[in-house]
Structure 1
Amino acid sequence: MTEPRAVPPALDGRHVLAVPAATDLLPLARAWFPDARWSRAPRSGDDASAARPASGARFRGIATAPEPEVGALALAGTVELDGPHPLDAAGARAVGLPAQDSALYGLPAAVAPGTTVTPELVAGWAAAVARRAGGGVLPAARDRAVVPDPGAAVDLTLWSPAPLTVQDALPVVRPALTGSRVAPPPPATPGAAPAGFTLTAAYAYDGEVDVRCERAAEVPMVLSTIDPHEHGPWAYRVTWRPPDPYELTRETPSQLHVIARQRVAPGVAGAVAALHAAVGGTVVDVGGFVVTRDELERRARAR
């Protein structure tokens, strides 16, 4: 019986991002770092073999298994990750990661002074990617893997070029969020632009879901990578407020919280899907990543 593949020594002393083996990391990097690019593209073993000249012992029939070549993904300037380093499912399980074939990326060991990309920003991005992709983060000490719960990312925002009136929005979201009603508006600020509106759906055991429409002064970074015609400044924020808000901060929430979340999440996705059908735009999750229409519909069906 073969031993599980260990974390490569090249990653010793560094924090490591682990994602499922087939994950395309570049779009996830550009969601937070729009200029991200492969400064050195990774190569599979077959690609590396094809790039080598047919000479020497290999050409005479003594073939050796080619090793894959690790790439370098530049987030910004000289701040780079290196990977992917493959790790099989048994090895991932052995170090506390989800038991799946994984791709490991070494996070920058240090960031040059004066750069706008801080270690905290890179760490925040890695945690968001781990949650989004269903992976994890290995700290440099290798004492305990951090595996965020993908199901915890319930809230969604539709960024659209078109506003709806509250009278038009209510029948759009009610099929997904039964019992939705217009919430009282906040106190008006003299000289300020209209504050938009909020719809609220309350549930006896599952908390409340708010649908807040407002014109935003700032948009998520990921929208800078998308055709401007596919989004806009009108934010339709659909947010779950559980019965006990403290549960949102817990690494391992209670079973009651998880059950309530599972009941509410399809309604959140369904309301956003209905709004998207009405006004168009681009959906972004709480991690700052784009949610496709197909994924939105899958979430809405997951009852």
Structure 2
Amino acid sequence: MDTTLPRLDRALAEPRHLLVLAAEVLPEEVEALAVSHFDDAGWTGLATLRVTGEAQLTGPWQVDDAVRSGLDLPAWAVAAMLLRCPVQRSAPVPPELRGMGGLLDAFPEGEPVGLERVVLDHLLAQARRLGGALRVAGTGTVLVPDPASAVDLTVHTTVWLEPEACGRVLAPVLPGLAPVDVPEASSPGDRVAVDVHPLRARAAAELDEGERAWLHAEADALDDAVLSRPQVLDGYAHVAAVPGGALEVSVAGDEHTPRVLRALPWARGGVISYEVRWRPDDPGLALGPRPPLAVRRDREEVRGIVEGVAAALHAVVGGQIVDDDAFLVAVESLTP
């Protein structure tokens, strides 16, 4: 514990949301994650970090034994940052939406909306990335997201791999890979006739039989030319069986720049995204708040596979790797 930090006062902390941190987390890491999501994030003064808009984190504050016990914080909690943010709540959460974990269970009398919801979602993502926790005001619920629950990764780049080339890149790290079927080009019997220019269409009624036959032949030739061109894919996918389900690698272009990449010149014209996603057999169980041990073991094995796939793609197409919370992931941190 950094004993030079000011001690967190329980009376000050209890009515506020808290981002709870372990000893190894630095304030600069919290700032970097905030900046990756929000244009106006950054330090505005000593120990004051604007998240976005009117939302500010102060601290870090030292968490001593008394505050840790009084606020029911995890044993590893040694520091916390206190959130100052306007309170914005909806109507009470319907009973059928309770019991699923997360923010809805933490706010049964009215879930956060507006700026408060945006910031709490962000801080919950920070807690998952940093191995921390989020204590919410009011109910005092302490949310400790499992860092291992963040399985999926996306490689953003400007390099397009054709389906066959992508398959060759992935084959060594993803045995049993197969392309997902895409709709085949229309057969001649399913053709839709190419429209004739409107002026020619109106004039056709005035043509003799030979001229009309010539016009129809021209239209049929244009139709054949269009249908014979190579099919341009907007995207494609490959899939392979993995423990507890399937792994899908989907590829598509997006003309919009992901926010986390907005400062990178190469991404300003849009990106090609290679999404590497686990599709568990039982999503409700695998992606729920408390999956059983066997599912957690499958998830951990798949996580290593996902990292290997993302690293293999990055080695060929470059770009940046991003997790499902839209935070950058260093390729050096991935499973080789």
TM-score range, shorter chain: 0.7 to 0.9
Match of 1:34 among 28, 31, 39: 39
Task: Give, in whole Å, the separation in 2 of the partners of 1:89 and 1:283.
Answer: 39
Partner amino acid, structure 2, of 1:273:
A
In 2, Cα distance between the equivalents of 1:175 and 1:95? 49
Pairing 1:229–2:229 present: no
Q: Quote the residue 1:104 is aligned against.
A: 80
1:101-157 Cα offsets, whole Å, 9 max, x none, are 533111224169xxx961110010011000010000111136431100100000000
Q: Which amino acid aligns with 1:283?
A: I
**Is the contact between residue 183 and residue 198 of structure 1 (CA under 8 Å) also seen in structure 2?**
yes
2:311 maps to which residue? 273
Distance (Å, rounded) in 1 between the aligned partners of 2:235 and 2:162: 9
TM-score normalised over the length of structure 2: 0.70
Amino acid at match of 2:21: V
What's the counterpart of residue 19 of structure 1? 21
Secondary structure at the residue paired with 1:107? strand
Matched, 1:121 2:158: no
Q: Counterparts of 2:20 and 2:73 in 1: how far apart (Å)?
A: 8
CA contact (8 A) 1:88 1:100 kept: no
The reply to whether residue 220 of structure 1 matches residue 228 of structure 2 is no
For residue 119 of structure 1, what is the amino acid of its counterpart? Answer: E
Deviation per CA, 1:237-260: give whole Å up to 9, x if none.
Answer: 000011101124421112221111
Letter in 2 for 1:18: V
- Specify whether residues 154 and 88 from structure 1 end up closer, same or farther in structure 2 by C-alpha distance, changes over 3 A only: farther
Corresponding residue for residue 301 of structure 2: 263
Structure 2 counterpart of 1:289: 327
Equivalent residues in 2 for 1:121-200, closer than 5 Å: 121-141=118-138, 143-185=140-182, 194-200=233-239
State the TM-score, normalizing by the size of structure 1: 0.77
Describe the SS at the equivalent of 1:257: helix
CA distance change for structure 1 residues 187 and 28 in 2, over 3 Å: closer, same or farther? Answer: farther
Q: Name structure 2 gaps, 5 residues minimum.
A: 1-6, 89-112, 186-191, 193-230
> 2 CA distance for matches of 1:29 and 1:78?
14
Q: Which amino acid aligns with 1:76?
A: T
Corresponding position: 1:208 with 2:205: no
Displacement of 1:81: 1.5
CA-CA distance at 1:216 after TM superposition:
1.6
- What is the distance in 2 between the residues matched to 1:212 and 1:294? 23
Match of 1:50 in 2: none
Match of 2:284 in 1: 246
Structure 1: segments with no counterpart, 5+ residues: 42-70
Please tell me the residue identity of whatever aligns with 2:235.
G
The verdict on how the C-alpha distance between 1:233 and 1:85 changes in structure 2, with shifts beyond 3 A counting, is same
What are the superposed Cα offsets for residues 58-112 of structure 1, whole Å, 9 maximum, x if unpaired?
A: xxxxxxxxxxxxx111123432121111225886477444432533111224169
Q: Is the 8 A contact 1:17 1:107 kept in 2?
A: yes
2: CA distance between counterparts of 1:214 and 1:136? Answer: 34
Aligned length: 260
Amino acid paired to 2:256: E
- Cα root mean square deviation, aligned: 2.9
Aligned residue number for residue 46 of structure 1: none
Give the superposition deviation at 1:34: 2.5
Residues 134-191 of structure 1 deviation map (CA, whole Å, 9 limit, x = unaligned): 0001111364311001000000000001111111111211222221111112688x9x
Q: Is the 8 A contact 2:257 2:267 kept in 1?
A: no
Q: What is the rounded CA distance, in whole Å, between the counterparts of 1:270 and 1:139 in structure 2?
A: 36
Structure 1 residues 238 and 83, CA gap change in structure 2 (3 angstroms): same
Counterparts of residues 50-129 of structure 1 (less than 5 Å)? 71-88=47-64, 92=68, 95-110=71-86, 118-129=115-126
